[in-house]
Amino acid sequence: MIALTGVAAERGGRRVLSDLDLTLTERRIAIVGANGSGKSTFARLLNGLVVPSEGSVTVDGFDTKSSGKEVRRLVGFVFQNPDNQIVYPTVAEDIGFGLKGRGLDKPAIAARVAATLDRFGLTGMDDRLAHELSGGERQMLALAGVMATAPRWLVMDEPTTLLDLRNTRRVMDAVAALDQHVVFVTHDLDLIAGFDRVLVFEAGCLVADAAPAEAVAAYRAIAG
């Protein structure tokens, strides 16, 4: 469970989110709202990339302020642009990187990398240079790299924005197959129809928190 208690957050010294009191337990949670409404900031609060200026955020009891390391193991984060998280030249090295420091020996890392490539449709791409992959392949690599570390929660910040229809479908199919809890930030309202819960942000406030049909109607009403 992720719990936000009396949370406010600042970016660049300015308050951009206020009055957040909610618990997240569902498996598929979407975050929608206008540009600048605070969606990315909310997503970043969940894994400690941003810590609250007021209140607290806890993940399974670990506070993001005082237990950042534990929180980042529990909550994986996928950025809009995969280039922000692919750090190693080849596909296999990049996935292996995230597994270092977890008490796995070399053969165990190799086995986990191979299984992950398989699972995300990247089989045989081990030695491909990440920067030579297509945008869709790079986003799958970013997702695979995070999932290889087996987080309990996955936060995705507009992961399909740079993708064409086919690759968007590919990412959404991969997400649908995950056992993990997923928090998914998007402007594409078609993608979230089957989600359990949708949070709507407007000007730094949570203004609707409901099932998709009701939340999307509230969002459309606000957007005019």
Ligand X SMILES: Nc1ncnc2c1ncn2[C@@H]1O[C@H](COP(=O)(O)OP(=O)(O)OP(=O)(O)O)[C@@H](O)[C@H]1O
* Residues engaged in binding ligand X (CB under 6 A): 11-12, 16, 33, 35-41
Around 87, how many Cα atoms within 13 Å sit in the side-chain half-sphere? Answer: 7
- Least Å distance, CB 10 to ligand X, is 9
Q: Which tokens go with 31?
A: 């975050």
CB closer to ligand X, 17 vs 144: 17
CB closer to ligand X, 54 vs 93: 54
CB closer to ligand X, 33 vs 82: 33
| 8 A C-beta contact, residue 145 and residue 119 | no
CB closer to ligand X, 41 vs 168: 41
Q: Within a 10 A sphere around the Cβ of 214, how many other Cβ atoms?
A: 13
Q: Which of 69, 75, 54 lies closest to 4 in space, CA to CA?
A: 54
Q: What angle do CA 150, 166, 116 make, to 5 degrees?
A: 20
- Least Å distance, CB 9 to ligand X, is 8
- Least Å distance, CB 160 to ligand X, is 13
| 8 A C-beta contact, residue 157 and residue 85 | no
How far apart, in whole angstroms, are the C-alpha atoms of residue 179 and residue 187?
24
CB closer to ligand X, 19 vs 173: 19
* Residue facing ligand X at closest CB distance: 12
- Least Å distance, CB 169 to ligand X, is 22
- Least Å distance, CB 174 to ligand X, is 22
How far apart, in whole angstroms, are the C-alpha atoms of residue 41 and residue 52?
10
